[in-house]
Amino acid sequence: MQLDEAIAPERADDPDQDVRDLIAVREHTRALRLLMQRHGAALYRFCREALRDATLADDVHQQVFIEAYRDFDRYGGRSTLRTWLFAIARHRCLDAAKGRTRWTSRFKNEAGDELSDPHPTAGERIDDARLRSSLETCLDELGEHVRTAVLLRYQQGFSFEDMSSVCREKAGTLQARVSRALPVLRACIEKKTGGAL
């Protein structure tokens, strides 16, 4: 994100206004600590599910905060700090995902084999454990941009307007992308489990 204003102006809807104040007076380490406390867990969940690789997610997750610390001076305040952090995270996840494409395709095949049910019952309602397991595999089969959009929307609860700031794409485009992904996910889950959602 290109956020080059020198000082973060007040923004009524940002629950991290106290952190913005710390950044404005260059109390960067204190600001970083607060951001890690408040958003560390959510960002970790996002990185883990976006990358589907614990080691890579650990690295990217920490890199997000290191990069945020380095770029505090560039934070312009046009988006909330949470949105800004997730924008960094999404960029870093997409970069990391590009670097392990071959590994991912191998992982997908293995995961698909593990989840195939030898005794599916047609029309049976899928239990929560199988839904959860197959959902993770099916998310992995979505494209990187689609998966991150779905996670931002549902796992992190972003509005499409805020997602627009994170992804630097139009809200309508993101809404259409997420809407198209849901039936794909549903079909994938039902195919893998042999049951009905």
Partner 1 sequence: MTSDARLEEALRSIGSELAPPAGWEDRVLAATVGPAHVAAPAPRRARWWMFAAPALACAAAAAVYLWWPRSTLPVQQLALAVSVEHGGPIVRGTTAHPGDTLVASTTGGAAHTAIWIYRDDHELVMSCTSSPCRVTLTARGDYSIVALSSDAPLPTPHGTLDDDVSAAAKSGATYTIEPVEVR
Looking at the Cβ atoms of 118 and 128, the one nearer to partner 1 is: 128
Least spacing, CB of residue 116 vs partner 1, in Å = 19
Q: Compare residues 106 and 132 and give the one whose CB is closer to partner 1.
A: 132
Comparing CB distances to partner 1, the nearer of 70 and 191 is 70
Which one, 46 or 80, has the nearer CB to partner 1? Answer: 46
**Site residues for partner 1 per CB under 8 A:** 4, 29, 32-33, 36-37, 40-41, 44-46, 48-49, 58, 61-62, 65-66, 69-71, 73-74, 95, 128, 131-132, 135-136, 139, 150-151, 154-155, 157, 182, 185-186, 189, 196-197
How far, in Å, CA of 133 to CA of 115, rounded? 8
Nearest distance, CB of residue 57 and partner 1, angstroms: 9
Q: How far is the CB of 21 from partner 1 (least distance, A)?
A: 19
Task: Say how far apart CA 47 and CA 61 lie, in whole Å.
Answer: 6
Q: Which of residues 38 and 118 has its CB atom nearest to partner 1 in the complex?
A: 38
With 0-12 / 13-18 / 19 or more C-beta atoms within 10 angstroms meaning exposed / middle / buried, residue 138 is buried
CB 57 within 8 A of CB 41: no
Q: What's the min distance (Å) between Cβ of 160 and partner 1? A: 15
Residue 43 C-beta: closest distance to partner 1, Å: 8
State how far the Cα of 72 lies from the Cα of 81, in Å rounded to an integer.
Answer: 10
Widest pairwise Cα distance in the chain: 63
Q: Which is nearer to partner 1, 11 or 28 (CB)?
A: 28
Q: Enter the tokens of residue 100.
A: 């392990």
Smallest distance, partner 1 to C-beta of residue 130, A: 11
Q: Counting beta carbons within 10 angstroms of the beta carbon of residue 31, is it exposed (0 to 12), middle (13 to 18) or buried (19 or more)? A: buried
Contacts of 55 (CB under 8 A, 6+ apart): none
